[in-house]
C-alpha cells in the first residue's frame, strides 16, 4: 500500500537517516521509535509530502488516503464539536452539497423529462451518500468522541471552548472518524488518561487500515504494534515484534557486537605487537608490510550506545514517622464545581502511590493539596513526624535558572556536595562529559525535566509528590526516571499516564472518581483486576480509614455483607437497564412508523401522476430522504442499545454468580 525507497534527509550537515526503505501493508501496526531529535516526525512529514527528502521516493497505491496527527495540533473553528468531527469527510460533505443543488434544481424545473433526469441523479447521489455513511455520520462521530472521553453534553459546544489536550483529542477524533487507509500518529497518547488509552488501544487493534505511531509510552506500543522502525545512531533498524521484543533483540545485538569488538581489539593488538617487534628487521619487512595493509583494511566494529540502568547512590532522606501525611474531612471546590466534599486519606512511610483517574477527576487537585500548595475550604492537612516535602510539577522546571550550567544548577541546591558526586548524578541522568557545562537555556524540554528531577533528588525530601514527570521525555529518559524513582528511599506519590512507570514503581493505587477516593493496596495489575470486579471492589472498600489494609470479617458479617451487595447489585442493574430498554421500545415504534410512511411515499413515486406538480415532488422527496436518514440513524442506535443491554445482562449474571460462589 505504501512504499518508501532509499530516502535520506539531513539538516545543516547533520544526517538524520540515509537509504531508508520499507513497505507498509494494509494491516500493519508499526512503531517508529528513537530519541528526541532523531527524525521520527521528519519521516512522517516526508511520507505525507510536506517535506522533500534529499534522495529517494515515497509511492503509494492509487486513491490511498493518509490521516496525519501532528503533535499539539490545535483545530480552530466556531463550529460545534459534533459538527466539526462528523462533517470532516470531504466526500460526504461534497455529496451533501450536490444533493442540495439537485433539490434546488428540482424546485425550479418544469420540464417533465428534465425532472425525471434530476430525480434519477438524486437517487444515485442519495444511494452513494448512504453507502459513504452520510446518514449515520453523527452516530459514528459520537461513538469516537465518547471513546476519547467527551461527554454527550460537550457535543454542542464550539471548538473555541476547548483548550489544551482536549483540542488534540478533537483532532484525533476527526481522523478516526475519517477512517483513512493509513494513520500516522505522532505522540497520540500525550493527553489521554489511562481509561481513554485502553479504549484507544482496542480501537487501533480493530482499525481497518495501517497505523504508524511514534510514542514514548512503552505499554501502549507493546499492546498495539507488531513491527518496529528504530532510528538509531548507526542507522535505521527494522524489527518484527513489539517494543519489548525489539529491546531484547537490541540488547542481544549489542552484546554480540561488544564480544566481537573485544575479539577484534585483541587481534589488532596482537598484530601491532608483531609490527613493532619486527619493524626494524629486514628479514621480516614483507611480513610487517603485509600486516600493516591488513590492519588498514579492517573495518572497526562499532558498538552502539545502550541505555544502561543507572547505578547512583542517592542520598537517603531522613526517616519520617509511620504516618507521613493525612487529609481529614477536606472539602475543595472551584466556584460551583465541587471536587471533594469529605476527603479522608492517609499515606504511610514506604508508600509509593500512583494516583489514577480520568482527566478532570481531581488528581492534580489532590496532589497539590497533599503538597500544601493548594488551599481548601474545609478540613485539615496534617504532616507526620519529621516529614519534609518536595513537589514536582511543570512550574518546577520553569524555576531552573536559564543562565546556570547543569552542574551549577545541581550545586545551587547542594553546595557542599563534591564535584565528582554532582557529575555522577548528572551522568546518571544522561549528562556526561562536557554536557554538564551546557546552559539551561539551550536544553530541550526533556533535558530540562531530567535536570529538574536530578536537582530534586540530590538532597531528597522524605515525601516526594510528582505530577506528570514523563512529559517531554523519550523512552530512554523515562527508563532513567523509573530507575531514579525506584532508587528513591522515601515516600512517593505521583501522577502519570505512563503505565510502565506505574507498574514498576507503585505499591499502592489511589483511584479518583466522582469526588471519591478509593485506595487499592498492591501493584497496578492488582488494581486493574480489583477495580473491574464488583466483589473485589466491595472488599477493597472495607478498609481501615486511610490505611488500606483489608479486614477479614467473620462468616456472619460476610453473609450479611453479601446480601447487601446482592441488593445493591440488583438496584444498580435495574437503574442501568431500564432507560436502555425504554429507549429500545421507543426506537422500534419510531422505526415502524417511519417505514410505513416510506412505503406510502414509494407507492406515490411509482405513480406517474405524482410528477405533475414539481413542488410536491421536491417536498415529498425531501421527506423521503429525511425518513431514510432517520431510519438509518435509529437502526444504528438500536443496534448499539441492544448490544449494551446484552452487556448489562451478561455482567449482572456473571457478577451475581460470583457473589453466590
Whether 183 shows a pLDDT value over 80: the answer reads: yes
Specify if 267 maps to a domain: yes
What is the pLDDT at residue 91? 60
Element containing residue 240 per DSSP (H, E)? strand 235-240
547-581: b (≥16 Cβ within 10 Å) or e: ebeeeeeeeeeeeeeeeebeeebeeebeebeeebe
Whether 533 shows a pLDDT value over 50: the answer reads: no
Q: Do 611 and 572 lie in a common domain? A: yes
Q: Do 508 and 582 lie in a common domain? A: no
Whether 212 shows a pLDDT value over 90: the answer reads: yes
Whether 370 shows a pLDDT value over 60: the answer reads: yes
Q: Which residue has the higher pLDDT, 281 or 425?
A: 425
What is the pLDDT at residue 536? 38
Whether 103 shows a pLDDT value over 80: the answer reads: no
What is the pLDDT at residue 72? 66
Give the chain's mean pLDDT. 82
Q: Do 493 and 565 lie in a common domain? A: no
What pLDDT band is residue 129 in, cutting at 50, 70 and 90? low
Nearest to 464 by CA among 365, 391, 367: 391
Specify if 550 maps to a domain: no
Residue 36: other Cβ atoms inside 10 A: 17
Q: Do 526 and 389 lie in a common domain? A: yes
Q: pLDDT tens digits, residue range 268-292? A: 888 788 777 777 777 777 887 887 7
Cβ neighbours of residue 420 closer than 8 Å, sequence gap 6 or more: none
Q: What region, left, alpha or beta, does residue 242 occupy, with left being phi > 0 and alpha being psi -120 to 50 degrees?
A: beta
Q: Which residue has the higher pLDDT, 472 or 343?
A: 343
Distance of CA 377 to CAs 68, 184, 243, 335, 518, Å? 45, 46, 47, 11, 21
Q: Which residue has the higher pLDDT, 100 or 310?
A: 100
Q: Vertex 456, ends 453 and 459: CA angle to 5°?
A: 140
Q: Do 338 and 364 lie in a common domain? A: yes
What is the pLDDT at residue 160? 83
What is the pLDDT at residue 367? 95
Q: Do 495 and 614 lie in a common domain? A: no
Find the CATH number of the domain harbouring 627.
1.20.58
Q: Do 618 and 641 lie in a common domain? A: yes
Highest mean pLDDT among 238-242, 308-312, 569-573: 238-242
Percent of the chain predicted with pLDDT > 90 = 26
Question: Based on the number of CB atoms within 10 Å of its own CB, is 127 exposed (0-12), middle (13-18) or buried (19 or more)?
Answer: exposed
Q: Answer with the one of 515, 541, 567 that is the final residue of a domain.
A: 541
Specify if 68 maps to a domain: no
What is the pLDDT at residue 623? 85
Q: Which residue has the higher pLDDT, 595 or 299?
A: 595
Q: Answer with the one of 133, 167, 187 that is the final residue of a domain.
A: 133
Specify if 278 maps to a domain: yes
What pLDDT band is residue 557 in, cutting at 50, 70 and 90? very low
pTM for the whole thing?
Answer: 0.65
Whether 163 shows a pLDDT value over 80: the answer reads: no
Specify if 73 maps to a domain: no
What is the pLDDT at residue 319? 92
Give mean pLDDT, residues 564-570.
Answer: 69
Q: Do 474 and 347 lie in a common domain? A: yes
What pLDDT band is residue 541 in, cutting at 50, 70 and 90? very low
Whether 132 shows a pLDDT value over 70: the answer reads: no
Q: Do 573 and 655 lie in a common domain? A: yes
Highest mean pLDDT among 90-104, 138-152, 367-381, 383-397: 367-381
Which residues span the domain enclosing 626? 555-660
Cβ neighbours of residue 193 closer than 8 Å, sequence gap 6 or more: 149, 357, 358, 359, 497
What pLDDT band is residue 660 in, cutting at 50, 70 and 90? low
What pLDDT band is residue 326 in, cutting at 50, 70 and 90? very high
Q: Do 389 and 266 lie in a common domain? A: no
Q: Answer with the one of 74, 109, 133 that is the final residue of a domain.
A: 133
Q: Out of 39-53, 386-400, 570-584, pick the least confident.
A: 570-584
What is the pLDDT at residue 460? 86
Find the CATH number of the domain harbouring 379.
3.40.50.300
Q: Do 529 and 619 lie in a common domain? A: no
Give mean pLDDT, residues 442-467.
Answer: 89
- Compute the distance between CA of residue 400 and CA of residue 393 in angstroms, rounded to an integer: 12
Q: pLDDT tens digits, residue range 252-271? A: 888 887 788 788 888 888 87
Specify if 530 maps to a domain: yes
What is the pLDDT at residue 272? 81
Q: Out of 214-228, 372-386, 449-463, 532-546, pick the least confident.
A: 532-546
Whether 649 shows a pLDDT value over 90: the answer reads: no
What pLDDT band is residue 564 in, cutting at 50, 70 and 90? low
Whether 310 shows a pLDDT value over 60: the answer reads: no
CB 480 within 8 A of CB 507: no
Specify if 183 maps to a domain: no
Q: Do 468 and 586 lie in a common domain? A: no
Per the structure, the count of domains in the chain is 4
β-pairing, 508-513 vs 352-356, is: parallel
Specify if 437 maps to a domain: no
Amino acid at each position: 500500500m505504501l512504499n518508501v525507497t532509499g530516502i535520506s534527509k539531513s539538516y545543516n550537515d547533520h544526517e538524520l537517516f540515509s537509504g531508508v526503505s520499507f513497505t507498509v501493508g494494509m494491516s500493519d501496526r508499526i512503531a517508529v521509535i528513537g530519541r528526541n531529535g532523531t527524525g521520527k516526525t521528519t519521516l512522517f512529514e516526508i511520507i505525507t509530502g510536506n517535506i522533500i527528502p534529499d534522495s529517494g521516493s515515497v509511492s503509494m497505491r492509487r486513491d490511498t488516503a493518509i490521516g496525519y496527527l501532528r503533535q499539539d495540533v490545535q483545530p480552530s473553528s466556531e463550529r460545534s464539536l459534533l459538527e466539526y468531527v462528523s462533517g470532516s469527510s470531504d466526500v460526504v460533505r461534497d455529496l451533501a452539497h450536490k444533493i442540495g443543488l439537485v433539490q434546488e434544481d428540482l424546485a425550479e424545473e418544469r420540464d417533465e423529462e428534465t425532472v425525471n433526469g434530476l430525480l434519477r441523479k438524486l437517487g444515485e447521489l442519495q444511494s452513494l451518500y448512504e453507502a459513504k455513511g452520510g446518514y449515520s455520520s453523527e452516530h459514528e462521530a459520537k461513538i469516537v468522541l465518547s471513546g476519547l472521553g467527551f461527554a454527550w453534553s460537550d457535543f454542542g459546544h464550539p471548538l473555541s471552548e476547548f483548550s489544551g489536550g482536549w483540542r488534540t483529542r478533537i483532532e484525533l477524533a476527526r481522523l478516526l472518524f475519517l477512517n483513512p487507509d493509513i494513520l500516522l500518529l505522532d505522540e497520540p497518547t500525550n493527553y489521554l488518561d489511562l481509561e481513554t488509552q485502553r479504549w484507544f488501544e482496542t480501537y487501533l487493534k480493530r482499525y481497518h487500515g495501517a497505523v504508524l505511531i511514534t510514542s514514548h509510552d512503552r505499554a501502549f506500543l507493546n499492546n498495539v504494534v507488531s513491527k518496529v522502525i528504530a532510528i538509531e545512531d548507526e542507522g535505521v533498524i527494522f524489527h518484527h515484534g513489539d517494543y519489548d521484543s525489539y529491546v531484547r533483540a537490541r540488547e542481544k545485538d549489542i552484546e554480540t557486537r561488544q564480544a566481537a569488538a573485544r575479539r577484534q581489539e585483541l587481534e589488532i593488538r596482537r598484530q601491532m605487537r608483531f609490527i613493532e617487534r619486527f619493524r626494524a628487521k629486514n628479514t621480516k619487512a614483507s611480513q610487517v608490510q603485509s600486516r600493516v595493509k591488513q590492519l588498514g583494511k579492517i573495518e572497526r566494529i562499532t558498538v552502539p550506545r545502550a541505555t544502561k540502568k543507572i547505578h547512583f547512590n542517592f542520598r537517603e532522606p531522613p526517616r519520617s514517622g509511620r504516618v507521613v501525611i493525612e487529609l481529614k474531612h477536606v472539602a475543595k471546590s472551584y466556584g460551583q464545581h465541587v471536587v471533594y466534599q469529605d476527603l479522608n486519606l492517609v499515606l504511610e512511610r514506604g508508600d509509593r502511590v500512583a494516583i489514577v483517574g480520568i482527566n478532570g477527576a481531581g488528581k492534580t487537585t489532590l496532589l497539590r493539596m497533599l503538597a500544601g500548595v493548594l488551599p481548601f475550604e474545609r478540613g485539615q492537612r496534617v504532616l507526620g513526624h519529621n516529614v519534609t516535602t518536595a513537589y514536582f510539577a511543570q512550574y518546577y522546571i520553569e524555576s531552573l535558572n536559564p543562565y546556570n550550567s547543569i552542574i551549577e544548577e545541581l550545586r545551587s541546591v547542594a553546595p557542599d556536595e563534591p564535584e565528582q558526586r554532582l557529575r555522577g548524578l548528572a551522568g546518571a541522568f544522561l549528562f556526561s562529559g562536557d554536557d554538564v557545562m551546557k546552559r539551561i537555556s539551550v536544553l530541550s524540554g526533556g533535558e530540562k525535566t531530567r535536570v529538574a528531577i536530578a536537582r530534586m533528588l540530590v538532597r531528597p525530601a522524605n515525601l516526594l509528590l510528582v505530577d506528570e514527570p514523563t512529559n517531554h521525555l523519550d523512552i530512554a529518559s523515562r527508563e532513567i526516571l523509573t530507575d531514579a524513582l525506584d532508587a528513591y528511599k522515601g515516600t512517593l506519590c505521583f501522577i502519570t499516564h505512563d503505565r510502565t512507570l506505574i507498574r514498576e514503581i507503585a505499591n499502592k493505587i489511589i483511584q479518583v472518581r466522582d469526588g471519591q477516593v478509593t485506595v487499592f493496596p498492591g501493584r497496578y495489575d492488582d488494581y486493574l483486576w480489583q477495580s473491574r470486579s464488583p466483589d473485589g471492589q466491595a472488599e477493597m472498600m472495607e478498609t481501615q480509614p486511610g490505611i488500606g489494609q483489608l479486614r477479614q470479617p467473620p462468616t456472619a458479617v460476610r453473609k450479611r455483607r453479601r446480601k447487601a451487595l446482592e441488593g445493591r447489585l440488583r438496584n444498580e442493574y435495574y437503574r442501568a437497564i431500564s432507560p436502555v430498554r425504554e429507549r429500545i421500545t421507543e426506537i422500534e415504534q419510531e422505526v415502524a412508523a417511519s417505514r410505513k410512511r416510506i412505503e406510502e411515499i414509494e407507492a406515490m413515486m411509482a405513480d406517474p401522476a405524482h410528477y405533475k406538480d414539481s413542488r410536491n415532488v421536491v417536498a415529498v422527496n425531501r421527506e423521503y430522504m429525511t425518513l431514510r436518514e432517520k431510519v438509518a440513524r435509529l437502526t444504528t442506535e438500536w443496534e448499539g442499545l441492544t448490544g449494551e443491554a446484552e452487556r448489562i445482562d451478561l455482567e449482572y449474571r456473571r457478577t451475581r454468580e460470583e457473589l453466590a460462589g
